[in-house]
């Protein structure tokens, strides 16, 4: 009976494979509703680009196309949802409950499609889907000469387009005052122009945009008499570049509010939707009036700055981060709860996360102020240095563990990104925000099928498991050789376009680097490693990046 069953499954599989192959097309027509808005127009362009960039199919006008894809918006009670219908012979309809839902529906359609058989094989997934999390964000740490600060703006823009397809609906960026002397610094204006360009692309994808800023951070030209008193730092996690102000000093408070108003004005042609206030690393003041910072100086200053933001951008959302509330004796969690019991001020969300496990306070005792809770997964830095220096850093099991700890109490989050090497981790987080019942391993398999080929899912998924088991650079074991073999075998099944893509190259290079480091017992030496690190540097555009967060190791 077992052999008959297996034979039936094989026949059924071959039948569906044949059906998919027969559905392959080389011409596609994409239609829009009348009076389509800016986001819908952009969604059509993203869909067209994805098809033509991944295969040899053409986008055509008129009625002669082998496949017609109709993009529609029909308002429903569930915002940002989508529905995919049609037999694919030759019509498919992607319907969004709004323009955002249309983008996410396009993403789901593309992820069930194939691009590796010469033409375009349209996706077979049909049904409806709606997001659970409201704030499915991403934080680009745009500093230190990393990808977001150094890569050609077209590459960053395309990356924003691609993240939107996975359901990302918020993007926050960082203006690092500590790198500049002031707003009139030429380098500062260049970065501000860049940040606004990225925000414009994000808004074209229906995202809300904003800033993540250190509440009491300032420029490197700050007068010394206005600087903060260093905060206690027993765990050595609270960074300080020496330009944090003490808001208890009237002149410093005035300088901070004036600087904040000027920062808000820099984005008036874009429009800001959200502000995330950051307490530590950078940030903080340990003077008697501000300490404990997380429950005294920080929420008070954040509220003062938010009044300015609300005046300039009515309706802007405020997120208060609790990052590095790690010193129990300071009682910052308890203190912040008491502070917000008296006055929630203008705060809309509390953000929580940590270097290790998720903080227990908001899970066991409730979120301060009874506010919605967001997370801040550390998808970039955890467990390796330099961050991303060895290629892709998939954290499938770790992110599943952290998600399970949050007990379905999250309304979303903003993963912390230093570059593109943690692309898989971004996708895992965004899809968990969409549907928290999914397993991270399942999300990774969907990613592999879409970005590489359905034919290599098992091999690449196994290799990624090995990557994570060898995440610690000092404990790479013999499994690294198996991972490299799996990646090499999978590569033979990929199209030339995929093999050349940066997503594949950072996986391939990770496998190669791990194999070499196992062979050299961790020593960074030899031409193979040198060439691999040089290629990663070029992919990241990290030639002038800071050595710790971005630049791969340098071998002379």
Q: Model confidence over 363-403: pLDDT tens digits?
A: 999 999 999 999 999 999 999 999 999 999 999 999 999 99
Q: How far apart are CA 187 and CA 107, in angstroms?
A: 36
Report yes or no on 215 lying in a domain: yes
On whether both 316 and 266 belong to a single domain, the answer is yes
Helices (H) and strands (E) in the chain, counts: 18, 15
pLDDT category of residue 7 using cuts at 50, 70 and 90: very low
Domain boundary, last residue among 413, 446, 479: 446
Report yes or no on 291 lying in a domain: yes
Q: How far apart are CA 104 and CA 82, in angstroms?
A: 7
Identify the CATH number of the domain in which residue 440 sits. Answer: 3.20.20.80
3-state secondary structure at position 300:
helix
pLDDT > 90: what percent of the chain?
85
Least Cα distance to 385 among 546, 148, 555 occurs for 546
Q: What mean pLDDT do residues 329-339 have? A: 93
Residue 110 has, within 13 A of its CA and on its CB side, a CA count of 29
Q: What mean pLDDT do residues 128-137 have? A: 98
Cβ-Cβ contacts under 8 Å for 543 (sequence gap 6 or more): 150, 537
Q: How far apart are CA 31 and CA 51, in angstroms?
A: 15
* Higher pLDDT pick, 445 / 556: 445
pLDDT category of residue 17 using cuts at 50, 70 and 90: very low
Domain boundary, last residue among 103, 129, 155: 129
For residue 351, what are the domain limits?
A: 135-446
Task: Give pLDDT tens digits for 247-273.
Answer: 999 999 999 999 999 999 999 999 999
On whether both 34 and 140 belong to a single domain, the answer is no
Q: Residue 320: beta bridge partners?
A: 277, 350
3-state secondary structure at position 345:
coil
pLDDT at 161 over 60: yes
Report yes or no on 178 lying in a domain: yes
Reported pTM: 0.94
Task: Return the beta strands (E) in 179-332 as ranges.
Answer: 208-214, 274-278, 317-321
On whether both 230 and 186 belong to a single domain, the answer is yes
pLDDT category of residue 234 using cuts at 50, 70 and 90: confident
Greatest C-alpha distance within the chain: 84
On whether both 166 and 304 belong to a single domain, the answer is yes
Report yes or no on 166 lying in a domain: yes
Q: How confident is the model at residue 4, as a pLDDT?
A: 36
Q: How confident is the model at residue 547, as a pLDDT?
A: 60
On whether both 315 and 382 belong to a single domain, the answer is yes
Report yes or no on 208 lying in a domain: yes
Task: Give pLDDT tens digits for 61-96.
Answer: 977 899 999 999 999 989 999 999 998 778 999 999
Report yes or no on 309 lying in a domain: yes
Report yes or no on 329 lying in a domain: yes
pLDDT at 21 over 60: no
On whether both 357 and 226 belong to a single domain, the answer is yes
Domain boundary, last residue among 129, 163, 178: 129
- Computed over its alpha carbons, how large is the radius of gyration of the chain? 24
Say how many domains are in the chain: 2
On whether both 121 and 143 belong to a single domain, the answer is no
pLDDT category of residue 3 using cuts at 50, 70 and 90: very low
Quote the tokens at residue 517: 């480091």
On whether both 119 and 157 belong to a single domain, the answer is no
Report yes or no on 452 lying in a domain: no
On whether both 66 and 142 belong to a single domain, the answer is no
On whether both 337 and 424 belong to a single domain, the answer is yes
On whether both 86 and 183 belong to a single domain, the answer is no
On whether both 263 and 327 belong to a single domain, the answer is yes
Opening angle at CA 502, ends 500 and 506, nearest 5:
110
CA dihedral 72, 76, 78, 81 (to 10 degrees): -10
Identify the CATH number of the domain in which residue 114 sits. Answer: 3.30.379.10
């Amino acid at each position: 009976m077992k052999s008959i069953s297996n034979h039936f499954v094989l026949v059924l599989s071959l039948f569906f494979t044949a059906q998919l192959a027969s559905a392959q097309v080389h011409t596609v027509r994409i239609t829009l509703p009348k009076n389509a808005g800016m986001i819908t127009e952009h969604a059509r362009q993203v869909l067209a680009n994805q098809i033509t960039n991944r295969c040899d199919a053409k986008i055509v006008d008129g009625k002669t196309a082998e496949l017609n894809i109709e993009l529609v918006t029909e308002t429903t009670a569930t915002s940002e949802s989508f529905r995919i219908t049609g037999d694919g012979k030759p019509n498919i309809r992607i319907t969004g409950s709004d323009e955002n839902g249309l983008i996410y529906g396009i993403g789901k359609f593309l992820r069930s499609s194939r691009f590796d058989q010469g033409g375009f094989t349209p996706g077979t997934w049909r049904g409806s889907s709606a997001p659970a999390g409201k704030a499915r964000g991403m934080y680009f740490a745009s500093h230190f000469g990393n990808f977001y600060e150094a890569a050609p703006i077209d590459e960053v823009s395309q990356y924003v387009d691609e993240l939107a397809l996975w359901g990302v609906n918020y993007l926050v960026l960082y203006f690092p005052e500590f790198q500049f002397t002031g707003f009139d610094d030429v380098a500062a204006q260049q970065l501000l122009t860049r940040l606004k360009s990225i925000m414009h692309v994000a808004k074209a994808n229906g995202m809300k945009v904003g800033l993540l800023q250190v509440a009491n951070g300032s420029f490197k030209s700050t007068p010394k008499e206005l600087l903060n008193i260093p905060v206690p730092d027993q765990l050595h996690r609270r960074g300080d570049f020496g330009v944090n102000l003490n808001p208890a000093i009237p002149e410093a408070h005035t300088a901070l509010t004036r600087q904040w108003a000027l920062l808000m004005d820099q984005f008036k042609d874009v429009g800001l939707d959200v502000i995330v206030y950051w307490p530590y690393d950078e940030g903080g003041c340990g003077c008697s009036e501000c300490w404990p910072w997380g429950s005294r100086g920080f929420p008070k200053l954040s509220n003062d700055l938010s009044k300015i933001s609300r005046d300039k951008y009515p309706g802007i959302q405020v997120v208060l981060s609790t990052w590095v509330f790690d010193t129990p004796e300071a009682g910052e969690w308890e203190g912040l709860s008491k502070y917000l019991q008296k006055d929630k001020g203008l705060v809309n969300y509390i953000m929580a996360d940590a270097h290790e496990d998720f903080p227990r306070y908001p899970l066991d005792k409730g979120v301060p102020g009874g506010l919605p809770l967001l997370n801040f997964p550390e998808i970039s830095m955890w467990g390796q240095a330099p961050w991303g220096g060895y290629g892709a850093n998939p954290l499938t099991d770790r992110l599943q563990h952290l998600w399970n700890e949050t007990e379905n109490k999250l309304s979303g989050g903003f993963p912390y990104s230093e570059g593109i090497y943690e692309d898989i981790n971004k996708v895992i987080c965004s899809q968990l925000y969409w549907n928290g019942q999914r397993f991270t391993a399942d999300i990774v398999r969907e990613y592999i099928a879409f970005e590489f080929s359905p034919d290599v899912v098992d091999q690449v998924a196994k290799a990624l498991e090995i990557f994570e088991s060898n995440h610690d650079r000092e404990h790479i074991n013999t499994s690294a050789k198996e991972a490299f073999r799996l990646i090499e075998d999978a590569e033979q099944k990929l199209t030339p376009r995929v093999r050349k893509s940066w997503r594949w190259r950072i996986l391939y290079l990770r496998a190669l680097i791990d194999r070499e480091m196992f062979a050299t017992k961790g020593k960074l030496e030899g031409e193979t490693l040198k060439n691999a690190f040089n290629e990663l540097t070029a992919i990241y555009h990290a030639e002038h990046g800071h050595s710790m967060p971005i630049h791969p190791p340098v071998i002379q």
